[in-house]
Amino acid sequence: MAHTYSSTLFHVVFSTKERRAAIKEPAKLWAYAAGIARNLQYEALAIGGTENHLHILLRLPAHVPVAEAAQKLKSNSSRWLHEENSWFGWQEGYGAFSVSPSNIDVVRRYIQNQPEHHRRRSFEEEFLALLAKSGVTFNKADVFE
List pLDDT tens digits, range 65-118. Answer: 999 999 999 999 998 888 877 678 999 999 999 999 999 999 999 999 998 888
pLDDT averaged over every residue in the chain:
92
Q: What are 49's strand-pairing partners?
A: 54
Helices (H) and strands (E) in the chain — how many of each?
Answer: 6, 4
pTM value?
A: 0.92
Given this model, what pLDDT does residue 65 score? 96
Are 77 and 29 within 8 A, CB to CB? yes
Given this model, what pLDDT does residue 1 score? 67
Q: Which residue has the higher pLDDT, 141 or 86?
A: 141
Tell me the CATH number for domain 23-143: 3.30.70.1290
Residue 39: pLDDT band (50, 70, 90) is very high
Cα separation, 56 vs 35, whole angstroms:
12
Helix (H, G, I), strand (E, B) or coil at 80: helix
